[in-house]
Structure 1
Amino acid sequence: VAGASGTIFTNGEPRDLHQFRKLSRYIMQEDLLQPYITVQEAMMIAADLKLGNGITKEKKGLDDVASSTCVSLLKRVARGGRTVVCSLHTPSARLFAEFDHVYVVAGGRCAYQGTAPGVVPFLNELQLPCPKTYNPADFIIEVSSGEYGSHVDKMVSAVENGKNQRWRTYAIEESPPGELFEEMEIEQLNTGGIEKHNYKHGCSACQQFIVLLKRMLLQTVRNKNSVFMGPAMSVPLMLLAVYGIGSGDDPLPIVWRLARACSFLRYGIEGLVAAIYGPPRDDLICPEHVDYCEYKNVAYFVKLMGMSGVSFWVDFSVLVCMLLAMNLTGYYLLRQRLSPNYAFRAIKVIGNFIKTKMSSYS
């Protein structure tokens, strides 16, 4: 809004733009995926850019408190009308009771399907009482794995291989309608009660550069157009840059001289030769076993290369000017392309001309 001013707050505190850029994401409506890579490669690249090379013991799993917090939050999400599928290793009895639907698979068959509180009554009916001091989740897993004998067939028959829905409705807690979409406490979202996190990725800048370089090379190799167009565009420019080298001071046609004057690579080669063999460079040293060195005289070698009148600082200045001109031109064209209320006039004129010619031919 024009003329508006103020302060933007994030979670009750003034926004730190540097940290906010790491937290916020702009997601396009269309899927803008990296071309020429598979889904697995894209996921692995994303993981390599965020994760480090090692993993500590603290990051291998969640403790009981963190697991309880995650399960409670997921249960609230599930009561809001969403389906949550959770895989938890060796859950405690308290966490196991939080799950609404438990599905036990043994030998590729369904050994139990129902609620978590229904596990103990289900096993009691099969004459497999769970000890009071035992975790029901661990006990049913041990029974299904055959540690107490072969009871898998009996369990599969009791639930009819998952078709019997009797235990799906056992001891389901009916939540009041007002609690189905219960929101989190506002205090939990305030930054005063949440410790500030360090949003730096575990991957270093060097590792990120290596990952992005591998991705670029992989995309370049798989892009058939770039593999063909790259040499097709580069080879003529390189031939133009080296045209006339070794011909001495023989004059070249004016067309070739004008073309070489616009070659970025040509100025780079001339500047490199001037930096290495320019004055006050002494004559080169010939090996002892060689009687005559044709290119011992540096001035003669530079003249033979056709670069006797080359100046290092002139070539350096031209390279800097050409680089700035190309960058500024690209920046200007990009700004015109991104401007919502301003169209690039040259492109607009060319577009109208093409439309006029096409309509006249049709």
Structure 2
Amino acid sequence: MMLAGAQIVDSGSVAYRHNNGESVVPPLPTLPAPAQAPGPSSIAPVQMQGLARVPTKEAVDIQFSNITCTVKLGINKGYKQILHGVSGRLRPRQLIAIMGPSGAGKSTLLDVLSGYRTTGVGGAVFINGRGRNMKRFKRMSCYIQQDDRLQGLLTVGENMMVAADLKLPTKLDRYEKGEVIEDILTNLGLYEHMNTRASQLSGGQRKRLSIALELINNPLIMFLDEPTTGLDSSSCSQVVQLCRSLAHQGRTIVCTVHQPSASLFALFDHVYVLAAGRCLYQGTTRNLVPYLDQAGIPCPIYHNPADYIIELASGEYGEDKLTLLTTKAENGRALEWFEHPDSIPSMEGLRKQYPLSLLKEEDSHNGDEETSQSNQRSVLIKRGFMKAKRDSTMTHLRLMVNVVVGIMLGALFINAGNEGSRVLENYNLLFAILMHHMMSPMMLTILTFPSEMSVLSKEHFNRWYSLGSYYISITIVDLPVSIVSCFIFSVIVYTMSSQPLDIVRFLMFFAISLYTVLVAQSVGLMIGAVFNVVNGTFLGPTLSVPMMMFAGFGVTLRDLPSYLYWGSYVSYLRYGLEGFIGAIYGLERPILDCNQALYCHYRYPRQFLEEVAMSPDMFWWDVLALTVAVVVFRTAAFVLLKFKLSAMR
């Protein structure tokens, strides 16, 4: 029997079908304030009519058994067990809340159930009575993480169209995809923000857009990590009402929630409470109060049951209460507090209901609907160019920096290229150009790519595209920007410093410049893929120092000790500097003018080449070496990126 004053109004409702077969969710009732609340709730419920596209497949029943998770604390710091053999059942057409205090293991359990975390995990997860096939499971599920990982430079409509192009079958035309997008955005209250950039949305709108993007391919299972964090009470209510409506249309939706208000708690159909990696309760929200009453730990009058169970889980009433509740809940195995527990099908019954022949048919059908690699690359390249056009850092600032630095270097070394008395100054200019081509692209990539990693990990995990398609697209998109910015810089510096006006020499100079930029970007990509911004900004310049040491500037190649000479072969700056020297002073360049001094020691280019111990005939070998460096570093960056995505899980 429920305690008076601690009663919670049942918010459950089930979907029904009209005679035409269309699934409809009844309008949500207005929820009165719980009797124990000190005052009436100020949150007005949002009327959700439900999406037109209801799931076409049967809802999914998820069962997990004896789930453990152990994480490594660090080098020589041992391991910590987060989950201690928890079990549970996630019924279809339910909005399920995983609750618990900070550190209870809510997000870890969600990571394990969604398949996002696989390292250090034990136990078993069953889908409709059978062991989970991860490939099939990912096709029917999505994971929306706590931070809203969106493409901020794209509008709501553009984000949705990109998602539709990547996730819907290519046989659908633009108008059919538009209908899907319009239906989702209208129901989520985002249609009037179609032309608003994602970076300009409010917190609640960003959260709803994150959900909208995953609804494109109509998933049967949705996992949301702390969807109400950082939102005001009205936005929280809207998001939870939305999830509730989606669940009652035939989806299984699981959310982690830290400490909901009484009215918000009442919107959930089912709750799973964790404390220190163990289950204290699982069942309907309306059964929580009688459960605590039967356990001998009744919820006080005028107390929010959600707050009270969190207080219990935090150990505020003693560790013995935790042990008592864990035992009573059988660490998640007890199902008696579910709604109609006697009608819950067994594992054997689920296997009969979903035979293997049906799964085989679904797999073949889903395989036909998956978009091809070429379509993925096409969509990602199109998205990349849209972002590049609007990106003030990677595009606009990058072009501006190349213009400004080009003018500064050109003014500092004006007319140094043709004067015999200023050959050493010109040599310094060539090395300064190399420093610019090395540091600017590398540091820019190190600073910006880690922020892109969060979006990549979400989209890649939710099967928007393959990692190979993404990597090829960012390489292609960045190439025109690199070529244009490098060409502008080269024209400014080359002409202002009065280098020889020969188209062949200029093209050689430009080719070496571009190759150096591409190698530096590849190095930055390697560092940015593995390290965060703080560590990357330290590591990037640190690794650049040996590259400069072995380039042949300051210490000529002939003066390098024999035990360090190997460094000149791995320094791409050596090949860049040697290529510059070949372009400017090679090709049998004639004697230089000597107008600014009585004696010009290096007016004969051959004499200067002998002094710096560089051959003028090595240009094509330098180009080949830089080409190899680009391929090796780009491949290494891809491997490291793949490793980092795996390590994150």
TM-score range, shorter chain: 0.3 to 0.5
Instruction: Tell which structure's C-alpha radius of gyration is larger.
Output: 1
Structure with greater strand percent? 2
TM-score scaled by length of structure 2: 0.25
